[in-house]
Amino acid sequence: MNQDFIKAGKIASQAREYGRSLIKENASVLEIAEKIEAKIRSLGGELSFPCDVSINFIAAHDSPKIKDERTLKKGDIVKIDLGAQVNGCVTDTACTVEVNSTKHKDLIKASEEALDNAIKLFTPRTKVCEIGKVIETTIKKYNLSPIRNLAGHGVGVYEIHTGINIPNYDNNNQTVLEKGMVFACEPFTTYGDGIVMDGKNSEVYSLEDPGKPIRDSGSREVLKYIKEKYKTLPFSKRDLSKKFNILKLTLALNNLEREGIIQQYNILVERSKGLVAQTEHTIIVDEKPVVVTK
């Protein structure tokens, strides 16, 4: 299993660096996400979740939509967040790039440094709160705030959140790490309050109650495909639109959402509209931590 995490991590890392090279003034956010996802698949992986391209005070979960016309502008703070999985072994990684400017160098550097400092603690017997404390201390040294209601998370086989969170501040959680556990760690930095709230719909979904019966045959067909292709992992309307007619797909997704069979994520925005940076790696807990997305 660890071999699959390591293989998936290598793919995610290559896709991230490729994605980083695409972040330029006037680049299309839709093209960036599509190219990153195609890269993951061409390297022999599948997606852990749809690629996000979250800009400025949008902290996370902004995956370009079908026909998204947004382009990057000089000075934008762009976070690409992506994941590759092999045989279900989920990896998750992110980086932040400032478009054609260095005005917010420290915002990005603080999240990178917080992650570097945190990685050293992914050893057996570390308490979860100790990692949060190191992240918080590193970020505050730069007079910035961590985002308190976004956290890293355990990952597993076809599991993007195992239930154990890695906080970006000292939350006093005494849970102890064990050898072999796999985590995504993702310090977020901001000039703002350090709290995110729900924004608009993302057109990214997860299965909520996949066993619930659905009468409409078109919806049933789409649901069957979702379960086969993505198993229990998040998926986008954009990716599904390559398989299904858009009218049929829209109807089916609306139906499935209304019935509570699938659930749509919201885009997450920083409450005070502070700019946000994020850096993320997937790490296997060991005496010497293994960063699989390095």
Residue 59 DSSP symbol: E
- Nearer to Mn ion by C-beta: 50 or 274? 50
What does the alpha-carbon distance between residue 249 and residue 242 come to, in Å, rounded to a whole number? 10
Residue for token pair 């992110």: 94
Q: Are 238 and 203 in contact (CB under 8 A)?
A: yes
User: What region does 26 belong to: left with phi over 0, alpha with psi -120 to 50, or beta?
Assistant: left
- What letter represents residue 36's amino acid? I
For residue 147, the minimal CB distance to Mn ion (Å) is: 12
Encoded tokens for 35: 């190219």
Encoded tokens for 157: 């086989």
Residue 12: closest CA among 235, 281, 277: 281
Encoded tokens for 100: 């054609």
Of the residues 81, 136, 203, 239, which one makes contact with Mn ion according to CB under 5 A: 81
At a CB cut-off of 8 Å and minimum separation 6, what does 106 contact?
142, 144
Q: Are 12 and 83 in contact (CB under 8 A)?
A: yes
Site for Mn ion contains 36 (CB under 5 A): no
- Nearer to Mn ion by C-beta: 15 or 261? 15
Known catalytic residues? Answer: 81, 92, 153, 161, 186, 280
Q: Report the largest interatomic distance among the alpha carbons of the chain, rounded to a whole angstrom.
A: 57
Distance separating the N- and C-terminal Cα atoms of the chain = 18
State whether residue 42 is helix, strand or coil.
Answer: helix
For residue 199, the minimal CB distance to Mn ion (Å) is: 17
For residue 160, the minimal CB distance to Mn ion (Å) is: 7
What does the alpha-carbon distance between residue 23 and residue 39 come to, in Å, rounded to a whole number? 15
Interaction with Mn ion in 249-288: which residues (CB under 5 A)? 280
For residue 49, the minimal CB distance to Mn ion (Å) is: 8
Q: Binding mask 168-197 vs Mn ion (x if CB under 5 A, - otherwise)?
A: ----------------x-------------
Q: Binding mask 133-172 vs Mn ion (x if CB under 5 A, - otherwise)?
A: ----------------------------------------
Site for Mn ion contains 37 (CB under 5 A): no
Number of residues that bind Mn ion (CB under 5 A): 5
CA 4-128-208 angle, to 5 degrees, is 60
Site for Mn ion contains 92 (CB under 5 A): yes
- Nearer to Mn ion by C-beta: 60 or 262? 60
- Nearer to Mn ion by C-beta: 12 or 222? 12
- Nearer to Mn ion by C-beta: 96 or 219? 96
Site for Mn ion contains 53 (CB under 5 A): no
Consecutive H or E run containing 254: helix 246-258
Q: Which stretch binds Mn ion (CB under 5 A): 90-98, 135-143, 244-252, 257-265?
A: 90-98
- Nearer to Mn ion by C-beta: 190 or 219? 190
For residue 219, the minimal CB distance to Mn ion (Å) is: 29
Q: Which stretch binds Mn ion (CB under 5 A): 92-100, 110-118, 130-138, 194-202?
A: 92-100
For residue 92, the minimal CB distance to Mn ion (Å) is: 4
Helices (H), 164-260: 217-230, 237-240, 246-258
Contacts with Mn ion by CB under 5 A lie at 81, 92, 94, 184, 280
